[in-house]
A and B are shown apart, each in its own frame.
Chain A
Amino acid sequence: MAESDQSTAHQVDSSAEGGATNAWLLRLYIAGQTPKSLAAISNLHRICAEHMVNKYSIEVIDLLEHPQLAEGDKIIAIPTLVRKLPQPIRKIIGDLSDTEKTLVGLQLKSKTV
C-alpha cells in the first residue's frame, strides 16, 4: 500500500485494483499536521489494512485548508472519521488509538464482544 503525500487536502488512498467498486469509503477530517492528526492517519491505515483488505478507500480532508468542507458532514471534533460506505453513515471521533472502539464504530465488531 503506497502512502501518498499527506500535504494534499484530498488524499485518496485506494487499495482497490482496476477500478473495482470499494466496499468501504472512509473520510478522515483533520486540522493540520498535529500529533492527533498524524496518529489518526496511521491508526486508520493500520486498521484498514488488517480488517478490510483491498476493499477500501480513504479520503483525508484538512480543515485548515478547506474549512468549508466540514459543513456537509457537520464536523465539530478533530480528528473525525466518517464511514460514507457502506451505509448508514457513521462517525468515529478521536485519533483511533482505541482499536476496539474504532472497530465497534465501523461495525466491524459488535459492542457485546
Chain B
Amino acid sequence: MFTHVPNYPQIEKIETGIIGFDLISSGGLPKGRTTLVSGTAGSAKTLFAVQFLAESIQRSGDAGIFVTFEEEPADIRRNVKSLGWDIEAWEAAGLWLFVDASPDPIQDQVEAGRYDLGALLARIEYAVAKIGATRLSMDSLGAIFAQFRDAAIVRAELFRIAYVLRQLKVTSIMTSERTQEYGEIGRFGVEEFVADNVLILRNVLEDEKRRRTMEILKYRGTSHQKGEFPFTIVSGRGILAIPLSAMELNQKSSIVRISSGNDDLDKMCGGGFFRDSIILASGATGTGKTLITTEFLKGGAKHGERCLLFAFEESREQLFRNAEGWGIDFEAMEAAGLLKVVCAYPESASLEDHLIEMKDIIEHYKPNRIAVDSLSAMERVATPKGFREFVISLTSFIKHQEVAGLFTSTTPTLMGGTSVTETHISTLTDSIILLRYVETNGSMRRGLTVLKMRGSIHDKDILEFNIDGTGMHLGEPFHHITGILAGNPRDASFG
C-alpha cells in the first residue's frame, strides 16, 4: 500500500527560453525564487545570466534588471552583441536596466566603521519598480565578496536581497565562481545557502576536448532532471542545452514501407524499410556503405521524397562522381529539389555544434529521409561519452521527425568486428544491415545480411553481392561458408 502523499502546492516555474534548459529543469526556473548559477572561469555564467533576461525580453517583453559586480555595463553590452542581443535598444525601450556595482579600478575604498549593503538593496528595489521588472540577474557574487573585507556582512546582505526579491515576486539568478569542476559549490562556501536552487555549469577538459555541461544540483521542493547535460554556445542564439535522457520516446510507429532504393534489398527486408525507422549499415571500408546510402537517396527521390545527406567522409564532388558511377544522377535530384547534400569535416566543429547544426538543417529542410555517411567519422572528434550522447540525441531527434534515417558505420577492421557506433546505436535502430568482406579460395567477395528488422520478418541469409554501373546486385547466399560475421570465413563443407 502506498501511504497518502500530501498534496503540497506546486512551485510555479517560469520558462527561461534557454533551449533544453526548460526541459532539464521541468519547466524553467522556480518563479519568484533565487537560483544560484555556479561555475569555474569560462563556464558561461555571465552568458547564462544575460540570456535569462534576453530571452524573456524577446519572448514576452518582460523587463529585467542586470546587477553587475564585475564587468562594466559597456563591456557586457559589447560582449553579447555578437549573439544578436542589443541591450542598448532594450535599455532605451525600458526593458533592461543595469545596476552598476562594478568596482572602480582607480578609486581606492577605505572601510572605517560599521556598514551594510543597504545602498545596493535600495538601488535594486528602485530599478525593479522603475521598469516593472519580473526577472533579475546578479553577476557575480565572487566580485562583491572581493569588494568588501567582511564576508559575513556580504553574506547577510545577500540573504536580505534574496528575501526582498522574493517579496517583490522577482525571479532571479545569482552567479558564483568555483575553483574546481567537482567539489565545493562556491568559492566562499556560503553561496548555496543564499539560494533555494543551484545550477552548476561545467567546462571540463576531457581527452584534450572541452565539454560543457549543466547540472541542476538542488531545486527545493520541485522536480527536475538529474545529472549532467551537455550544452553548447551558438552565435546568434547563446546557450543551447542538449537534453538526452530528458527526451521523451513518444514517437509513433509506422507500418508504411518505403523503398531502400534497391529492389533486392527491399525483398530481403520483407518489402522495404519502415517509413519512420532508423537503419544502421555497418561494414569495413569499401564494402559498399556509401553505395547503400546513395541508393537509399535515389529510392526516396524516385518517389518524390525529399532527401537529406550529411556526408562526413567524402566531398561533394566525390559523392556526385560516385553516384554517377552507379548510374544515379544526384545533380538532377538536387535540381528537382529532392536532394540536399551537406558535407562537413568532423573536425570543423565540436560534436555539440555539429548536432545543433544538423538539427537546424533538418528542421529547415524538412526531409522525408535522412542519411548520415558515416556516423562513425564523428568518433574522431569526441570522447566516448560525448559521442554516445551525440548518437542518442541525433537518433531521438530524427525519430521525432518521423522520417527514415540511414546511418553508416565503418568497422575498424577489414574482416568484421564491431565499432563503437554500433555499440551505442544498435538498440536504438530498427534495422541493421551488415556488409562484410568474404575471403574464399584466394578471392575477396562481398556479403550482405539483414541482422535485424524490427516489426517484420526478413531474409536471414548472408547474400553475396556485386557492384556494377547500375548499382548493387544481390546474388546467392554463401551456403558453404561459416564465420563470415565473425570475420573468419571458413568452408563449412570441410567441417
- Which A residues contact B (CB, under 8 angstroms)? 29, 31-32, 34, 36, 39-40, 43, 63-64, 67-68, 70-71, 74-80, 88-99, 101-102, 104-105
Contacts and interface: CB of A to CB of B under 8 A. Distances in A.
B407 to A, nearest CB: 56
Interface stretch (B106-114, B207-215, B373-381): B106-114
Contact of A63 (B100, B109, B118): B118
A88 B107 CA distance: 8
B114 A97 contact: yes
Given A63-B119, A70-B122, A71-B123, A94 B114 contact: yes
Contacts of B494: none
B112 A93 contact: yes
B345 interface: no
Contacts of B108: 90-91
A92 B107 CA distance: 10
Contact of B122 (A36, A63, A93, A104): A63
A29 B147 CA distance: 18
Contact of A101 (B112, B118, B122): B112
Given A67-B126, A76-B119, A77-B148, A40 B113 contact: yes
A78 to B, nearest CB: 4
A64 B106 CA distance: 28
A64 B118 CA distance: 9
Interface of B: 99-102, 104, 106-120, 122-123, 125-126, 144, 147-148
B116 A91 contact: no
B122 A43 contact: no
A70 B107 CA distance: 16
Contacts of B125: 67
B91 to A, nearest CB: 13
Given A68-B126, A91-B110, A74 B104 contact: yes
A71 B148 CA distance: 19
A76 B114 contact: no
A39 B113 contact: yes
A71 B112 contact: no
B108 to A, nearest CB: 7
Given A74-B102, A76-B147, A77-B148, A90 B107 contact: yes
Nearest to A93: B115
15 contacts: A29-B119, A31-B122, A34-B118, A40-B113, A67-B126, A70-B122, A71-B123, A78-B122, A80-B119, A92-B109, A94-B114, A94-B115, A95-B114, A98-B113, A101-B112
B173 to A, nearest CB: 19
B120 A76 contact: yes
Contacts of B120: 76-77
Contacts of A77: 115-120, 148
Given A67-B122, A70-B123, A74-B102, A92 B112 contact: yes
Contact of B100 (A43, A71, A91, A97): A71
B99 to A, nearest CB: 8
Nearest to B110: A105
Q: Which 10 pairs from chain A and chain B are nearest by CB?
A: A94-B113, A105-B110, A67-B126, A78-B118, A101-B112, A97-B113, A95-B113, A31-B118, A75-B119, A98-B112
Contact of B110 (A39, A88, A99, A104): A104
Nearest to A47: B112
B101 A76 contact: yes
Contacts of A99: 112
Contact of A31 (B100, B104, B111, B119): B119
Given A77-B117, A94-B111, 10 more contacts: A31-B118, A39-B114, A70-B123, A71-B99, A74-B102, A76-B147, A80-B115, A93-B109, A93-B110, A104-B110
A91 B113 contact: no
A88 B109 CA distance: 12
A32 B144 CA distance: 23
Nearest to B109: A91
A32 to B, nearest CB: 8
A98 B126 CA distance: 31
Contacts of A75: 119, 123
Contacts of A39: 113-114
A33 B255 CA distance: 78
A106 to B, nearest CB: 9
A70 to B, nearest CB: 5
Nearest to A67: B126
Nearest to B153: A77
A91 B104 CA distance: 10
Contacts of A40: 113
Contacts of A31: 118-119, 122
A14 B111 CA distance: 25
